Amino acid sequence: MSAALRKQLQTSDVLWMPNAIIADTKLTPGAKFLYSVLLNHSWKAPIVCPSHGALAREIGASVRATRNYIDELKRAKLIALQTRPGKPSLYSVARH
Q: What is the pLDDT of residues 81-94, one digit of tens each?
A: 998 898 888 999 99
Cα 80-78-58 angle, rounded to 5 deg: 85
pTM of the model: 0.83
Q: With bands split at pLDDT 50, 70 and 90, how would you rate the model's confidence at 12?
A: low
Which residues have a Cβ under 8 Å from the Cβ of 87 and sit 6 or more positions away? Answer: 49
Question: Mean pLDDT over residues 70-90, rounded?
Answer: 93
Burial tier of 35 (Cβ tally within 10 Å: 0-12, 13-18, 19+): buried
Mean pLDDT of the chain: 88
Please report the domains of the chain, with CATH numbers, ordered by start residue. Answer: 27-93 (1.10.10.10)
Lowest mean pLDDT among 11-15, 17-21, 60-64, 81-85: 11-15
For residues 4 and 33, the answer to whether their CB atoms sit within 8 Å is no
At 11 the pLDDT is 57
At 43 the pLDDT is 81
